[in-house]
Structure 1
């Protein structure tokens, strides 16, 4: 599900498992700040201020590359923010599905260290491409 205010990805194997991107804002033209929430039975985790810098490779091109390789790949591909508060690891499984393991970590200065992860399984072609387009729109305001 995508709207200008949020983007949600849910696991095909269990719809109670998902990731939400919301509360996007910017202080300047160089970065975008947003919140990421993980959900699974018994788990709710949120990082309030993930930062994407315009000069770095953000999440959208990583997801678009995965969608372009819908026939699969060997091993794991990964992406992370500069601060490593959000990381994504992607694997391909037979049947054309991609497992995206989303990991959130607290900021080191937050006083208490914690981490949480969920894995969303999605169809590696059109479903992943639509999610990547939603993330691009969310992060960059592109329609």
Structure 2
């Protein structure tokens, strides 16, 4: 699909969807001042243009027993494409890794890991480092979550 320009209504629709993905098209249409069919068409257009990647339910990690958040920083053993691809595939394969970034700076990668406790983290860590050659790995344990948001800022649009 070609590039589309977002207008005020598109921005409002995106805001409502990221606030509550279960909100009905009728509710969204009413809130943005459209009838249901044009609103539905806009939502379809936004999905086709990949502005809406997926609609999901956000689960409560604490309630599900995942009370430990760990940020793992990794220095690559090598900086060739084959190793980078292998590491990306290796680290992405762990369910515990909920976010994974290639970084600039001292460390090459940052992984956000959710686990139940230190024993679970140790098990994850051993599987991570035993599966591939790494130069350095360091972990930081989150003591308190101050802010957590999944909403993407839209004010710049």
Give the TM-score category using the shorter length: under 0.3
Structure of larger gyration radius = 2
Q: Which has the higher strand share?
A: 1
Per the normalisation by structure 1, the TM-score is 0.26
Q: Which has the higher helix share?
A: 2
Per the normalisation by structure 2, the TM-score is 0.24
